[in-house]
Amino acid sequence: MKSKGSAKAERGDQGGPAEETAVMHPEQLPTGNECILLVDDEQALIDLSRDLLGRLGYRVETRASPIDAFRSNSQKYDLVISDMTMPKMTGDEMARQMKAIRLEIPIILCSGFSDRIHAQAMEAIGISAVLMKPVIYADLAHTVRRVLDACLIIGGEGGLHWDELDEGVSEKGLLSGVGDRAKPHRKAS
């Protein structure tokens, strides 16, 4: 009786090093232990995001009234991640109110509508990054870590600047998804 092996083994194919590496060593995603305030009006997205960020080591809190929670203890949070479009308050309005409480808090907005995201407006508010929905797990992991590592006020001395993107990245590239295609970077000193 013939043993059941893979089609490759039956054909005599050998998996190359790249294939073995991809299977045995998936991409290492950046991790952390910071506290993130997660704001969204869809419970399923909150649960999924909390689980994904928790797997990366982050402490994630969600609040029905994020402004009140932030106002009562703004120093507790290292980062805010919010949906852009919510019924009671938009993400950019929430960001304005949080920045009035604590200017240096980094904020990532998530949106499914690129026509509602304008780079100059996001810079003026002090948004650290924008992720387009559906958000890819690796993009979320890398963006969160990059924003937390920067911990700089956008537009401030040495801060992140929307207009200082890697060469060849247009404003549309910035707003159509984050990942490695759009990396705001530190201003040269």
How far does Cα 62 stand from its chain's mean position? Answer: 16
Pairing of the two strands 59-62 and 79-83: unpaired
Tens of pLDDT, residue by residue over 89-109, are: 989 999 999 999 999 999 999
Tens of pLDDT, residue by residue over 21-31, are: 334 345 699 99
How far does Cα 67 stand from its chain's mean position? Answer: 20
CA distance 81 to 49: 10
**154, exposed or middle or buried, with CB in 10 Å at 0-12, 13-18, 19+?**
buried
Would you state the pLDDT for residue 64?
A: 73
Would you state the pLDDT for residue 29?
A: 95
Cis peptide before 26 (omega within 30 of 0): no
Q: Sign of the CA dihedral 149, 153, 157, 162?
A: positive
Would you state the pLDDT for residue 114?
A: 65
Per-residue exposure over 18-46, b if at least 16 CB sit within 10 Å of its own CB, e if not: eeeeeeeeeeeeeebebebbbbbeeeebb
Would you state the pLDDT for residue 172?
A: 34
H helices of the chain, in order, are 7-11, 17-24, 43-55, 66-72, 91-101, 119-125, 137-150, 171-175
Sites in the chain below the pLDDT cut of 70: 1-27, 114-117, 152-189
Would you state the pLDDT for residue 82?
A: 94
Q: What length is written for the chain? A: 189
**Helix 137-150, helix 43-55: angle, nearest 10:** 70
CA distance 38 to 46: 7
